[in-house]
Amino acid sequence: MRAVVQRVRDASVSVEGLIQGKIAGGLLVYLGVAQGDSEADARYLAEKIPCLRIFEDPQGKMNRSVRDTGGGLLVVSQFTLLGDARKGRRPSYSAAAESTLAQDLYEYFIARIREQGLCCESGIFQTHMEVRSINDGPVTLLLDSRKGF
């Protein structure tokens, strides 16, 4: 399972012009599910992401987590994170999980975040979405549950 995590001042996701999820500040998380991923992969990222110390403390050091700041998370499914563009010009998405598994793990990930008492908004799985955000920093991290990078 892969995630792109961005520290944002605000973010929203819309489907057909209607806002489905919105946060005033916190983390925008793009989540991609790979073939062979399991609930263990989702748990790993759901435990790691809220604890990432990427928000500034009063001394200006990145020493606080979204949990510490009281911010929210906006989670957007994105199978293209599993795209392989090493060969040719059209990325291959063969490493992405089939949609039923991907949706189950996407929803499981969101449930694990919410169980921690954090505000977690989301997009609608397998729809065309428009995501708007104001990156803060910018701070962007790439995470992989298999620790491939």
Q: Point out the catalytic residue in the list 80, 116, 126, 140.
A: 80
- Tell me the three state secondary structure of residue 102: helix
Name 4's bridge partners: 30, 142
Q: Point out the catalytic residue in the list 6, 55, 79, 109.
A: 79
Q: How many angstroms separate the CA atoms of 8 and 10, rounded? A: 5
Q: Is residue 6 among the annotated active site residues?
A: no
Q: Is residue 35 among the annotated active site residues?
A: no
The alpha carbon of residue 49 and the mean position of all alpha carbons in its chain are separated, in whole angstroms, by 9
Q: Point out the catalytic residue in the list 20, 55, 78, 109.
A: 78
Q: Is residue 78 among the annotated active site residues?
A: yes
**Backbone dihedral angles phi then psi of residue 50, each to the nearest 5 degrees:** -65, -15
- Tell me the three state secondary structure of residue 15: strand
Q: Mind telling me the catalytic residues?
A: 78-80
